[in-house]
Structures are given as structure tokens and as C-alpha cells.
Amino acid sequence: MIWWLELALFGLLVVTALIALSVRDMIAAVATLSVYSFLAAVLLALMGAVDVALTEAALGAGVTGVLLIGAISVVERRTPD
Amino acid sequence: MNERYDSVILHFIARVFLVPLIIVFGIYVLLHGELSPGGGFQAGAIVAAALLLVRLTLGNRQGALRIPQGLLIWLACIGLGVYMFGGILPLILGDNFLDYARIPVEWYNQFAGEPRTARSMGIFIIEVGVFFGVVAVLVLIYDLLAGSSRQ
């Protein structure tokens, strides 16, 4: 396997997770979380679990983002902490 | 997200290109679920993403006219019914619950290009049931969530 590609993807995964935790704007956090899910899907596909990668790309990067934005439109957009 | 966003590029890309392509890919994933990666749940998630794209571009009220909420509830019940049919049909034929060994496949093999075994036919019935259930319930969750933000 291309080890440096996996290493770079893992690094980006950690960076996007930290950004999603630390950002104040909830919409930006959801967008970063979608990027996180997509990177996780690419990693799963590289490891050979194409089945899980399909689910992660469709549910994690697509549907969950839409549902979270729907939940944000009910509550406040900016969080104090 | 409740109002329609008027943009020619958005509507053209979504309506002409993205939504039909995603639905066709989802049905491909469903039909090839036994031989290649995929299956009922994955195909249902992909098609539900396409239906959510319709609701996002057209706005909730107009998008819900295309696939109304009552139809979604019926679709979820039909999915459960197909699953129960695939489970109870072996019981009628004298086997255990969800044991597809003696499901009739001769009627299918007469006109199909490549013959199927009874077990692959049974798994396919189950996958179709899961597909309809997942599509309907994922879109219903979004509908209920967006409906609560309107009040």
C-alpha cells in the first residue's frame, strides 16, 4: 500500500477532527465533520473495506450533514464555548 | 433550508445531472449487492441522499410535493412487508424462518440471462425490503426535523 498517502490522510483526519471541535460556528463545524467523514471513507476504501466506505460516504458525509444542519436551524447557530 | 433558493446553475446541476445519476448508482449498488460491495442499506443511503438533495434545492414544501410524507410512511411499511415476506415464505414452504433453501427460482431462471440459486434469490428479497425501509426512514427523519424548525 502507498504508506505516505495513508499517513497524510490520517494526519488530515486528526486535523479536521480538531478543527471541528474547536470552531465556534456550528455550520463550519458540520462542514468540517463532513470532510472528516469523507477522509475516513477514503481510508476505509484504501484498507479494502469498500462496503463500509460506501456507507460512510453516503451516510457520514451526506445525510448526517443535512440532518445536523436541520438540527442547527432549530437551535442557535453560534455556540459560546 | 425551508425556502427555495433560485439559482439556474444549482437547479440545472441538481435536476439534470446529479439526482438521476445518484439514483441510478444507488439502484446499481442494490442489484449488484451480492457479487460486489454494496447491498440494501448502502443503496438505501445513497438514494436517500438523492431525495434529500431534491428537498434541499426545491425547498421543503415544494420538494415534499414530489415525494409526499404519506407515501414515505407507506414505503417504509412496504419495505418491512417485503422483509417479512422473505422471512415467512420459507416458513410456509416448510423450512425455518429466513432459511431460503427451497424458495422457488425456476420462474426467474426461465427468462434471466444467468441463473440464480434459491439462497441468492432469498437474500435479494431481503435486500429490497431493507432498501425501501432505509430510503423512507432517512427522508422521514429529515422531514420531521425540518418541519419542527418551521413552527
Confidence (pTM): 0.86
Which sequence spans correspond to the domains of chain B?
Answer: 8-150
Give the mutation candidate from A27, A54, A56, A76 for the B interface (greatest B CB count, under 10 A). A54
C-beta separation of B90 from B96 below 8 A: yes
Q: Quick one: pLDDT at residue B38?
A: 81
What are the residue ranges in chain A where pLDDT is below 50?
Answer: none
* Radius of gyration of chain A measured on its C-alpha atoms: 14
pLDDT for residue B125 is more than 80: yes
Give the mutation candidate from B2, B139, B143, B149 for the A interface (greatest A CB count, under 10 A). B149
Burial class (CB in 10 A: 0-12, 13-18, 19+), A75: exposed
Mean pLDDT taken over chain B: 86
C-beta separation of B93 from B102 below 8 A: yes
ipTM over 0.90: no
CB contact under 8 A, B141 and A58: no
Q: Quick one: pLDDT at residue B149?
A: 52
